[in-house]
Amino acid sequence: MAPTSGHIKTCQNCARGKIRCIRTSDSSICDRCRRLDKECYFRAARPRYNPAKKGTRVEALEAKVDQLLARVVNSQHTKHQPDVPLALSDPELHSIPDKPRDVIDRGIVRFDDAVTLLESFRETLMPYFPFIFIAPEVTLAQLRAEKPLLLLAILKGSSYKNAAAQQILEETFQTAVADQMIFAHNPSMDVLLGLLVALAWLQHQSQHERFSSYLHLAWSIVGDLRLDRLSETQSFYSRMAMSKVSSDENSSRHSVNERRRALIGCYVLSSCRSTILQKDRMMTRLSFVEKHALELLSNAEIASDRCLIQLVKLQQIFERIDDAVVTTANPVREADMHAFQTEINEYRTTLSVTFSDNSLLQFHLHTLQLFLCQACLFDKNGTANYSASSAPRSHVDSGLPPHLQSGHQPLDLSPFQVEFLNRGMTEAKKFFDYIFTFAPDTFRLISYTQWLQTGFNLVLGCKLAVTGAKYAPRSPHVRALCSDLNMPHVLRAVLQRIQWLSEDRVTVDGKQHSKHFYEAWLWHILEWFEQKYHLVPSEDTTQMPTGLPDGGLRPSTLANSATSQDVPLMGEIYGATQVAQVDDTALWPDFLWNISTDDILNGYMGFPDMPYPTLQPGYDVPLP
């Protein structure tokens, strides 16, 4: 049998004998089979690998997976979120030719629903993050064509009512970012803006621990695009070029302002995180950030552009206070802190009244004052002029301010400390009065910086309340401020809000949503606070209601009420005619006093799989 096209070149007999098969060109059998008088048979060859056919098969499988995924989303939507339907639609109806298939083409989000989510982003989320601006005339089709990754981030952030759908969009977003930044290495404004939107509301998503990774990617794009160095309309000399390199002189006003906002947004996010959570700073060219903010002020497109310079200046004060805590020597510490206080007071008086309704700016102002009080009272290096013994400290008390070295000694504060204790309790009360004027749903909308600042202020409010209650016997004024602050009532109200936010929490693919961890974190704060903040009868307090039927709290309620009756904090019933007083023993060596602010906020904005500090008697670790 002669070998023909499609057959192997070795006959079966030679193959079994592992002998070379030789055949003359004009013969139908090989030489060995002819010599041995055997039948010569050539087996048919296997089909050759065809990559084109495999690619077609992979595409078909991907299409089937997309259809199944869309059906899952549709069923979950029907169960959990009827008002924001994400379901399978006709992929060809609104597809964009010659473009990669997006979530609309793949049927994960219907076109009409994407339009609704985009409008929802403009109206509800964008006001809380002024570093992203989507003009009213920009359509969904334009974003799909020009900024697909930004659109994907917007759809993901706007789907906050449907955690399951948001999880699917988050995974799609991660894949898109990896494709652009790792495989294609395409650092663009589209990717940067998409990362900023993802960062701005990452605290409400199931994998919020990716904040650090997203932030580093955003800063890498800022560096690649030279946004942190000079104005986009200027030319520059490159050290590796023979002549001047020109930037795009024809950049529109909108695109230039878009880059300025992005740079300022990256700075505010990273600076807020670094100062509160004690992380390394990513931005050191502060003069360029301020320059861009001033240029944006003089070329503002929208009202929020005028407030960005104020945010930059406030954040720079945060950083200078943080530096002073680490580097300033004790003999000049009080003078430095008073200088910061004077600067904050002057800033408040000169701030335009037009910014009074800017929630981002108001959060920064309240938190800045409380951050200064934290530096004066609780930070590791302590302050000067403590009334304490000059005896050497023990190893356990190393690094502690003298008034915190022992929980068994009566609390004795210097006038400087009493001043900032009073300032702190007053400012904490103002902050909680302010945030409880928000509707409950607003806490879904506020940005990462506001969420982080709320957690910091809540922790600091607890520490101020315990300190004030301990010092109350020495000062009726401190006692009154502590009673007005009423942290038990604040904690109860915050717990109510967190539980309300947790009603729609779900578990996706075995992963708990971040809303699980906020409530668990708050219960640990409540546990510590209940142990340290004890209540004793008083004659000068009056009973007031604790809240409203819708879960909201008015400022007047917080300002005048004592603890609510018949509402337990951690299982104990507190009466209404009681004010704060702290147990005289074991005040400091526990939970909030033994770990850094980063550790305290660990379950709030950090990695939820890390253990919480334990509450054990005699657990005596220095306060950082």
Q: Assess contact for 579 and 483: CB atoms under 8 A.
A: yes
Is residue 27 located within the same domain as residue 130?
no
In a domain, 468, yes or no: yes
CB of 371 closer than 8 Å to CB of 388: no
- The number of angstroms, rounded, from the C-alpha of 181 to the middle of its chain's C-alpha atoms is 20
Contacts of 117 (CB under 8 A, 6+ apart): 84, 109, 154, 155, 158, 159
23 and 159 assigned to the same domain: no
Would residue 542 count as lying in a domain?
Answer: yes
Say whether both 591 and 608 belong to one domain: yes
The pLDDT of residue 367 is above 60 = yes
Confidence of residue 139 (pLDDT cuts 50, 70, 90): very high
Domain annotation covers residue 221: no
What pLDDT band is residue 26 in, cutting at 50, 70 and 90? confident
pLDDT of residue 37: 86
Q: Which residues of 54-63 are buried (b: 16+ CB within 10 A; e: fewer)?
A: eeeeeeeeee
pLDDT in tens, 152-201: 999 999 998 887 888 889 999 999 999 999 888 888 999 999 999 999 99
Clarify whether residues 438 and 523 are in a common domain.
yes
Per-residue pLDDT for 582 more than 90? no
Percent of the chain with pLDDT over 90: 33
Please give the tally of structural domains in the chain: 3
For residue 419, being part of any structural domain is answered with: yes
Same domain, 509 and 559: yes
Confidence at residue 512, expressed as pLDDT on a 0 to 100 scale = 57
Residues 126 and 201 occupy one common structural domain: yes
| One domain for residues 56 and 44 | no
* Predicted pLDDT at 350: 80
Verify that 116 and 2 share a domain, yes or no. no
pLDDT digits (tens, 9 = 90+) for 268-317: 999 999 999 888 887 777 778 888 899 999 988 998 999 999 999 999 99
**Residue-range definition of the domain harbouring residue 17:** 1-48
Same domain (yes/no): 365, 461: yes
**pLDDT(385) > 50:** no
Name the pLDDT band for 426 (thresholds 50, 70, 90).
Answer: very high
| CATH for 22 | 4.10.240
> What's the mean pLDDT when you consider all of the chain?
74
- Among 171-185, 430-444, 521-535, the range scoring the smallest mean pLDDT is 521-535
Give the Cα separation of 424 and 374 in Å (integer).
8
pLDDT in tens, 342-351: 999 998 888 7
First to last CA, the chain: 89
pLDDT score at 232: 47
Q: Are residues 38 and 72 in the same domain?
A: no
Same domain (yes/no): 79, 38:
no
CA distance 124 to 75: 26
User: Are 163 and 132 found together in one domain?
Assistant: yes
